[in-house]
Amino acid sequence: MSGEKTEQPTHKKLRDARQKGDVAHSKDFTQTLLVLALFGYLLGNAHGIVEALGRLVLIPSTLVGQPFEQALPIALDAALREAVYLVLPFVLIVLVVGMFSEFLQVGVVLAFEKLKPSAKKLNVMSNLKNIFSKKNLVELLKSIIKIAFLSVLVTLVVRDALPELMAVPHSGLAGLEAGVGGMMRALIVNIAVAYVVISLADFVWQRMQYRKGLMMSKEDIKQEFKEMEGDPHIKHKRKHLHQEMVMHGAVASTRKASVLVTNPTHLAVAIYYEPDETPLPVVLAKGEGALAEQMMRAAREAGVPVMQNIPLARALMASALPDQYIPSELIEPVAEVLRLVRKLAGNADDPT
């Protein structure tokens, strides 16, 4: 069936989807990069974080015996400084890595169409259908599985570290660092591995679903081709490319010609003749206007004789075809031009 979407999306289809903001995107991939960056920071600065937490916990003990009115602003100031030290790096990591992850996945996408107001966004029934769509149900199922898996993983790690955590209140700062630090390292490694596996699977899944959603039928491809054929911009571009190819081929052929017949400025016909190679002269290329001027310039640069013969140039333009022998009725006038070229060449070679 021609209506079945069995064909891969064309470049135009992919480009149009991207312009509308419809791109393959994995939230889990972004989350994984964030988790890895945050965990990397935690591992690299674990000692400093634990010390800051210790200082935060011990703030009240440093103010014992002071009046409440004096102790409160001191405690708040110290707590604020420690909180900034603890929280600010995490905020910066989330901002920088989040933007980097989006750029890594989709690059720079300026989809202003997504920002346009639409009546569909206010349609309650349409929004309900979107909420309970197959895509959203799959995303919900994935989230439930992921949360359940991570919950079990965290529970197992915390359970194994529970004996050490119970001893922390009696161990001071050294015990806090050993107990909490060990548990956090175990959590970081296990959760990081889990996130990498989940994100890779989701990354592949999202790419597959994105391509599947843009699949086209044979009729879609035919319709797209018709639209492109009728696009004035495409027509102009194709015409321009064709002209460039013709001009390039004509100029290149002129450099190999035996003579270039002109009228003298608006028409040019490149003719090739070698008795041992061709039984009759061959028309290599024809040109009018700007192309004729380029052919004349190329002929002079290549040392090809340029002969002005208005009647012959017009006759060749009207009846001769490129890469074909000259018409029989023009054999005599062309032969006369070739004889003249050979005579001039002979005189030039003879210094006397």
Q: Which domains does the chain have, with CATH numbers?
A: 17-215 (no CATH), 237-349 (3.40.1690.10)
For residue 275, which of 339, 223, 327 has the smallest C-alpha distance? Answer: 339
Distance CA 60, CA 74 (A): 10
Q: What residues form DSSP beta bridges with 332?
A: none
Q: What is the DSSP letter of 216?
A: B
Distance CA 274, CA 342 (A): 11
In the β-sheet with 324-325, what is the strand arrangement from edge to edge? Answer: 306-308, 259-262, 267-272, 282-288, 324-325
- Kindly give, in sequence order, each residue whose CB lies less than 8 Å from that of residue 289, ignoring residues fewer than 6 positions away: 266
Q: What is the DSSP letter of 25?
A: -
> Which burial class, exposed, middle or buried, applies to 128 when counting CB atoms under 10 A from its CB (0-12, 13-18, 19+)?
exposed
Q: Is-cis flag, bond preceding 264, omega within 30?
A: yes
For residue 150, which of 200, 105, 187, 96 has the smallest C-alpha distance? Answer: 187
Q: What is the pLDDT of residue 308?
A: 92
Distance CA 168, CA 290 (A): 89
Instruction: Please say whether the beta carbons of 329 and 318 come within 8 A.
Output: no
Distance CA 123, CA 350 (A): 93
pTM for the predicted model, two decimal places: 0.48
Q: What is the pLDDT of residue 314?
A: 93
Query: Residue type at 6?
Result: T
Do strands 259-262 and 306-308 pair parallel, antiparallel, or not at all (unpaired)?
parallel
Instruction: Please say whether the beta carbons of 75 and 63 come within 8 A.
Output: yes
> Which burial class, exposed, middle or buried, applies to 29 when counting CB atoms under 10 A from its CB (0-12, 13-18, 19+)?
buried
Instruction: Please say whether the beta carbons of 299 and 260 come within 8 A.
Output: yes
> Per residue of the chain (352 residues), what is the pLDDT tens digit?
556 777 788 777 877 777 777 777 788 888 888 888 888 887 788 778 878 888 888 777 777 777 777 778 888 888 888 888 888 999 999 999 988 888 887 776 665 565 566 555 556 566 666 666 777 787 788 888 888 888 888 888 888 777 776 666 665 555 566 666 677 778 878 888 888 888 888 888 888 888 888 888 877 777 776 666 555 665 555 555 445 555 678 888 888 899 999 988 889 999 999 888 888 899 999 999 888 999 999 999 999 999 999 999 999 999 988 888 898 899 899 999 999 988 887 765 554 4
Distance CA 130, CA 166 (A): 48
Q: What is the pLDDT of residue 352?
A: 42
